[in-house]
Amino acid sequence: MNHVLVIGGGIIGLLTARDLVQAGAKVTLVEMGETGRESSWAGGGIVSPLYPWRSPNAVTALARWSQQTYPGLATELHEETGIDPELTTSGMLILDTEEQKEALAWGERHGVQIEVVGLAELHAAEPGLGLRPDHALVLPEITQIRTPRLAKAVRRSVEKRIQLREREKVVELLIEDDRALGVRTPKGTIPAEQTVICTGAWTAKLLEQLGTKPDIHPVRGQIILFFGKPGQVNHITLHRERYIIPRRDGRVLLGSTLEETGFTKATTAEAKEELYRAAVEMFPFLKRTPIEDHWAGLRPGSPSGIPYIGAYPGIQGLYFNAGHFRNGLVTGPASARLVADLLLGREPIVDPSPYTLNAER
């Protein structure tokens, strides 16, 4: 039985640990804070890239596999743990139609349903919408998931089957004769036959000691949450890079910013005001709706948003699964399965070559 060490307890690390333990591996997961509390907790939970036709094919391949897997995964997790991740088919309404031709062609190629709706149909679907475009795009099959509940459910699913070490920071990768032997933390060494780095925005820092590191850096995103009522917004709604997400309980998320601020995770009044204005422009009733919360998270930015998944070149037993930028949630199940396939020597679910450290991005 392989002993695999997973570094990082966000949704990518948790799903990777789950795939590995289900395949019979002995797994230790080490997380510097609490599992699921960084970008996994902060993200909106749309099970689709924004403007999906703009995504590189490598991202689309992972997203499509994950989208088909999520219904079964959400049901399994709910049955296993009693925690409902709230996978909900909201559909995605896109009010920007300048790329309609490209969008429809992309949908045709990838088997994604995309409809064009006129003004009357649009306002029948979303009576509270304040904008009045001539037409819009609807992707009726797009789902959303409640990210904190998903992370809690995956953690609950694996916590009794793995060794879980939280609040323990990895300070050094143990490499000897070009082979990964585990890690050192302030509490001592953790030996392992294979190590998978799933540390999101912190990945490049961890790999600095090896010389060659992936091009991953933190990109701050801020979101505001309105305390709304069920039925006020029906669809995930996207306009000028901003998205509205209606939760089942009536809460409404508006996100999100893209800020190059290093590892600074603080929220700002300027971003809150900007997001508020975008929300009220889309749905004017939100002006009368209290803001319940405002938070920030650090995404793992990478060139073209293509993650790094696979073996670290030249070091036996070292793998990575990181750099998902804005698409960690939608590509998470496929990314976890792919790195598990490669580590365990199984037939990979997709061509792994675009995700290697040396692949062009």
Domains located in the chain, CATH noted: 1-89+144-215+303-361 (3.50.50.60), 92-141+217-301 (3.30.9.10)
| Residue among 294, 52, 16, 11 nearest 145 (CA) | 11
Query: Tokens for 225?
Result: 């949450």
C-alpha–C-alpha distance, residues 189 and 337, integer Å: 27
pLDDT tens per residue, the chain (361 residues)? 789 999 999 999 999 999 999 999 999 999 999 998 888 888 899 999 999 999 999 999 999 999 999 999 999 999 999 999 999 999 999 999 999 999 999 999 999 999 999 999 999 999 999 999 999 999 999 999 999 999 999 999 999 999 999 999 999 999 999 999 999 999 999 999 999 999 999 999 999 889 888 999 999 999 999 999 999 999 999 999 999 999 999 999 999 999 999 999 999 999 999 999 999 999 999 999 999 999 999 999 998 999 999 999 999 999 999 999 999 999 999 999 999 999 999 999 999 999 999 888 8
Q: How far is CA 179 from CA 1, 58, 194, 277, 311, in A?
A: 18, 29, 9, 53, 12
Q: In what order do the strands lie in the sheet with 172-176?
A: 172-176, 179-185, 188-191
Separation CA 91–CA 99 (nearest Å): 19
User: CA nearest 54: which of 335, 330, 304, 258?
Assistant: 304
β strands within 106-234, DSSP E: 115-118, 135-139, 143-144, 163-165, 172-176, 179-185, 188-191, 194-197, 217-226
For residue 3, the cross-strand partners are 26
Query: Amino acid identity of 294?
Result: H
Return the pLDDT at 227.
96
Q: Dihedral angle at the C-alpha atoms of 191, 194, 199, 203, nearest 10 degrees? A: 100
DSSP designation for 93: E
Residue-level pLDDT at 358? 87
Distance CA(211)–CA(69), nearest Å, equals 36
Cβ-contact 100, 176 below 8 angstroms:
no
- Residue showing tokens 């790329």: 99
Alpha helices in the chain (DSSP H): 11-22, 39-42, 57-81, 100-110, 119-125, 147-158, 203-207, 269-282, 328-344
Can you give the three-state secondary structure of 258-318, one letter per residue? CECCCCCCCCCHHHHHHHHHHHHHHCHHHHHCCEEEEEEEEEEECHHHCCEEEECCCCECE
* pLDDT for position 359: 84
Run of H or E including 320: strand 318-322
* pLDDT given for residue 292 in this prediction: 96
What values do phi and psi take at 13, rounded to 5? -65, -40
